[in-house]
């Protein structure tokens, strides 16, 4: 992906500000779509995206390259979604959109909003019953086309790695369950 190559080049040159800007602009629309798919709420997705953008902006100087940059970005997005679900965080109230990362996040959210509105009602009905973890598994593997190893890194909790084989098995069971529900709803024959 050309955007990722440019991000890596900027990081190698020590331009973390430029790399963060490029990352939010080039990966942002897909990350926002991912957050919307797993959180199923425009406002929550926007809030999680702002948290993601701030985390990326602040965390980029510490990026060690232990995984692909895109994988690291999705891990930040997943952690942002988990953080948003934490009641203690929600009680703190809305974040002020005052930083450069927040302004970039708002720019990407605005441009990406039109595409999300076109989602199918039938698909939403099927996805509505899925847990955020199941949503994330589907989006990362199918929509974002990430390899199993990257999905495992993203969904693993600190100190609790998930084996890619275990995710593949969960994915197969989830596909079977969704296919059965789609047949029951008359969406497929």
Domain residues for the domain of 47 are: 2-184
Asked, for residue 189, whether it belongs to a domain, the answer is: no
Tens of pLDDT, residues 27-41: 999 999 999 888 888
Domain count, the chain: 1
* Secondary structure letter of residue 62 according to DSSP: G
Confidence of residue 95 (pLDDT cuts 50, 70, 90): low
Give the tens place of pLDDT for each residue, 46-77. Answer: 999 999 999 999 999 998 888 899 999 999 99
The answer to whether 143 and 33 are in contact (CB under 8 A) is yes
Long-range contacts of residues 100-103, Cβ cutoff 8 Å, at least 24 apart = 100/21, 100/57, 101/20, 101/24, 101/50, 101/53, 101/54, 101/56, 101/57, 102/50, 102/53, 102/54
- Look at residue 111 and tell me if it is in a domain: yes
Residue 92 lies in a domain: yes
Is 46 a domain residue? yes
Backbone angles phi, psi at 99, to 5 degrees: -90, 165
Q: Full-prediction pTM beyond 0.75? A: no
135 falls within a domain: yes
């Amino acid at each position: 992906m050309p955007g990722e190559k440019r991000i890596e080049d900027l990081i190698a040159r020590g331009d973390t500000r430029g790399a963060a800007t490029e990352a939010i602009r080039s990966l942002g629309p897909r990350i926002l779509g991912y957050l919307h798919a797993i959180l199923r709420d425009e406002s929550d997705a926007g809030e999680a995206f702002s948290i993601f953008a701030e985390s990326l902006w602040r965390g980029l100087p510490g990026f060690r390259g232990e995984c692909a940059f895109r994988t690291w970005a999705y891990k930040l997005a997943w952690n942002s979604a988990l953080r948003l679900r934490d009641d203690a965080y929600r009680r703190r109230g809305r974040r002020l959109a005052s930083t450069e990362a927040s302004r970039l996040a708002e720019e990407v959210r605005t441009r990406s909003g039109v595409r999300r509105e076109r989602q199918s009602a039938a698909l939403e009905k099927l996805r509505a019953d899925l847990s955020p973890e199941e949503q994330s598994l589907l989006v990362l593997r199918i929509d974002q086309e990430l390899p199993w190893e990257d999905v495992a890194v993203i969904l693993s909790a600190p100190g609790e790695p998930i084996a890619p084989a275990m995710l593949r098995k969960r994915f197969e069971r989830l596909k079977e369950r969704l296919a059965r529900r789609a047949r029951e709803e008359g969406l497929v024959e």
